[in-house]
Structure 1
Amino acid sequence: MTEQTNGLVGHTTAESDIAIVDKFFSALRDKDLDTAESLLDNDVVYQNVGLPTIHGSRRAMRLFTGMQRPSLGFDLKIHRTAADGGTVLNERTDVITVGPVRMQFWVCGVFEVRDGRITLWRDYFDFYDMTKGLLRGLLGAIVPGLRPTL
C-alpha cells in the first residue's frame, strides 16, 4: 500500500511509522493539537499503564487541551526508537512543565500505526521515577540552578 495519509506514506515501512509517531510528538510539543489529533485514529486506545484506559481521539486529546495555557508545557527527548510491522517502540524522557516546575521522567511507549494513524498509544513508566522527577522539579523551582534539563 502506498496511500498518502497525513502528509506521510501510510503503513509501508518502519521509517514511515516512526515518522508518524515523531510528527505526533512534535505537534504535542508545539501545542498543535489539531495536527496531533489528526494523527490519532478516531478509535485510538490510550493507556498509561496503571491508570484508566482512554478510548477515542477526542477523549485522549482532552488531556492535552490544558497544555494550551502559557504556564503549561510538554517536551520530550527520544533516546531510542524501533519499529516492526506497524508497531513503534520508543524509550524517552517526558517533560511536563507547570509554571517554574519542570518534571522529567522516563517513559517507554508502544504505538500501533495503521494506514498512517496511531491506533494504540501505550506508555509504561515508573511512579517512583515520576515522583523523583516531581521532587527534583519542585527543588529546581526554588533553586533555579538545580532545574532539570534534557
Structure 2
Amino acid sequence: MLATNSMGVPQGMDTYPALLQNLDILCPFGFARMPEGDLSGKEAADILQKLCDNAGSHLWFDLEAFLFNPDQSLYPRPIEEIIHDLTLFDNFEKILCYQYPGVFSDPNASIQVGEERTVKLFKDYKAYLNKLKKDRTKKNKKSIEYLIKN
C-alpha cells in the first residue's frame, strides 16, 4: 500500500501506470484540500480509479479527519465535511480514516487528549453512525415487508 497525495495527478500521468503495475493498493489523501488550479477531489479520484482499474490495483481512500491551522498544527475537521467526503466519493473500495491522537476524543476515556472540539467530533461521528444504522434497519424492514407481500 502506498499513501500518496491526491494533488497534481495530471503531472503524474506518465508515472502512475508503471507505479501501479507494482502496487497492490493506492491509498491517496488530501482530496478535500485540493489547491486552486488543480483538479477537484472528485476528478482526481475518478482518474486514479481508472488508472488503478487498468493496472489491476485497488484504490482506497485515506480520509483526513483533521484540518491545518496556519501554524500547521491540526484541529478536528467538522463532521459535515467528513460526511461530505464519505458520500461524494463512491468509487473507493475501502475508506481508511487517518487521524492523530486527540482528533477524535471519547468523552468516556480516562485520559482526555485534545480540546473540546475533539470530543464534539467523536460525539458527532457516533451520532452519524447511529443514524446510518437506524436508516439501514428501516430500509431492511421495508425490503422484507415488500418481499413478504409479493
TM-score where L is the length of structure 1: 0.27
TM-score where L is the length of structure 2: 0.27
Structure with the larger helix share? 2
> Which protein has the larger Cα radius of gyration, Structure 1 or Structure 2?
2
Structure with the larger strand share? 1
